[in-house]
Amino acid sequence: MSAAAAAGTWKLGDLEVNRIGYGAMRLTGNGMLGNSDGTPIDRDAAVGLLHSAVEQGVNHIDTAAFYFSALRSANELINRALSSWCGDVVVVTKVGPGRDPSGEWIAEARPDQLRGQVEENLRQLGRDCLDVVNLRIGGPRTASVAEHFGALAELREAGLIRHLGLSGVLPEHVTEAQGIAPVVCVQNSYGLDWRRADESGLVDLCGEQGIAFVPFFAVSGLRREAAASREQDAHVQSVARAHDATPAQVRLAWTLHRGPHVLAIPGTKNPVHLAQNIAAGSLRLTEEELRLLDKTIDSATAPRTHG
């Protein structure tokens, strides 16, 4: 059994994936802001990292056309790295937000502009059909996803997309979208110190409906796209020491314990951290440890911002 399969598998529609995947956001630098002011990430090193991930059993990679810096595009790197593994690795991308060629954020796409974003992902990834496309909405204040999700459902019927998902949503958005076309996954910010998806019931709703729940920022938490820093939480440190594990592994294991439908897509450009993140799938926390970790941060005190 591969390292990435230690936590089990889940299906995105008819596509079975290991629960430990890989998020490509950091491949071009430090988050979506990239490393435009510094030395660009080495292209061969990035491709090698993706090869290593797949060789360790990762078959679920998350990306977006707006993950790019001045000289590097996550989609382009994935295209180059996975050309020989096409069909073996599920690539999940997202549409809705956009950036101009200089990297500046532009207005959220209108429903009639989503086809262009889908086609951009197809070109960059070198695909004729996208495995999964998530509609990333502007935030929980979005009243309805019907027009945008309906536009993607039409592209699914046209054969450009295999499966659909959502990102940055509330339970009511999932219910609305399910009435239009099947939702196979939901991506939201979620982790030990950011549990809004528990408060809203979103994690449990996804489990009840057989939808994969895919947290992002599960390791970085409220630091979001910031560079890695020393773990500050004493409870996380204590559990990590007990298992001879890293704090990041403990945070990922805590996330995965929420249910078999919860997947992980930790991102890194460090090969050592990549192997550690994948190995987190084999970490089993005791009930006592889970109770201890649940005391780490009262999510009600967390600032109400949304990724």
Q: 122-126 long-range CB contacts below 8 Å, 24 or more apart?
A: 122/160, 124/65, 124/73, 124/75, 124/76, 124/79, 125/63, 125/75, 125/78, 125/79, 125/91, 125/93, 126/79, 126/83, 126/86
Residue 22: active-site member: no
- Output b/e per residue, 177-191; b: 16+ Cβ within 10 A: beebbebbbbbbbbb
Collapsing DSSP states into helix, strand and coil, what is residue 177?
A: helix
Q: How far is 245 from 182, CA to CA, in rounded Å? A: 38
Q: Do 75 and 124 form a contact (C-beta atoms < 8 A)? A: yes
Indicate which residue of 10, 22, 66, 67 is catalytic: 67
Handedness of CA 247, 252, 255, 257 (dihedral sign): negative
Residue positions counted in the chain: 307
Supply 137's token pair.
């909405």
Q: Do 81 and 58 form a contact (C-beta atoms < 8 A)? A: no
Q: How far is 259 from 64, CA to CA, in rounded Å? A: 26
Q: How far is 61 from 181, CA to CA, in rounded Å? A: 23
Active site amino acids: 67
